[in-house]
Amino acid sequence: MPDVTHDGRRWSNADDDRVDLVSYDPRWPSLFEAEAGRIRAALSGMLDFALEHFGSTAIPGLPAKPIIDIMVIADAPSSWAGLVEPIQNIGYVFWADNPRRDRMFFVKGMPPFGERRTHHVPRSDARGRASLDPEHLVRYASLKEELAARYPTDRDAYTEGKAQFVDEVVRRASGG
């Protein structure tokens, strides 16, 4: 199996795993439902969990990387390790070196394991959703387009560039 490595500056697959934004696709909710069905079947009977479509593909009208983000919400940390094999068996790569120890992260289609990312499945014990009003939606879309143009082969910088805006929206939504 190929390796994806980081040299301290960038990921070895950066040229093939670009940050490409596309216009909102009204098929994204049904793509979420289809993949959620596969995940539910793979995890059936293992633990009590919920699946949530989140991220930019879950917000009508917002340009996004065409990657469906599916949060697996499970409260039993002792059973998390048991998620790896069933999710890998439906075509995901598990990011074992994720520095966030409060989360697990799976990717489907990431080069060199596929042609392009199609789905992300993080596992978390946290729930939380923020919505964007029209003004923030426009600001966020503009920020995403600026960052994608500036960092087309640097997913870390793209994500970091969005972090302050996302944190602000989530804090406001939670009354903070």
In this structure, of 4-8, 92-96, 125-129, 134-138, the range with the lowest mean pLDDT score is 125-129
Q: Is 97 helix (H, G, I), strand (E, B) or coil?
A: coil
Torsion of Cα atoms, 14 then 51 then 24 then 170, to 10°: -80
Query: Per residue in 22-63, pLDDT tens?
Result: 999 999 999 999 999 999 999 988 878 889 998 899 999 999
Query: Per residue in 120-138, pLDDT tens?
Result: 787 655 545 556 778 888 8
For residue 60, which of 134, 122, 166 has the smallest C-alpha distance? 134
Average pLDDT value for residue range 14-19: 76
Domain residue extents for the chain? 28-129
Q: Which residue has the higher pLDDT, 4 or 106?
A: 106
Contact 140, 62 (CB under 8 A): yes
Q: Which residue has the higher pLDDT, 123 or 77?
A: 77
**Residue 112's pLDDT is what?**
76
The contacts of residue 137 (CB under 8 Å, 6+ apart) are 59, 61, 62
176, two tokens:
């903070």
**Residue 65's pLDDT is what?**
92
Pairing of strands 119-124, 68-74: parallel
**Residue 123's pLDDT is what?**
62
| pTM metric for this prediction | 0.78
CATH fold, domain 28-129, is Beta Polymerase; domain 2 (3.30.460)
| DSSP, residue by residue, 40-53 | HHHHTTT--EEEEE
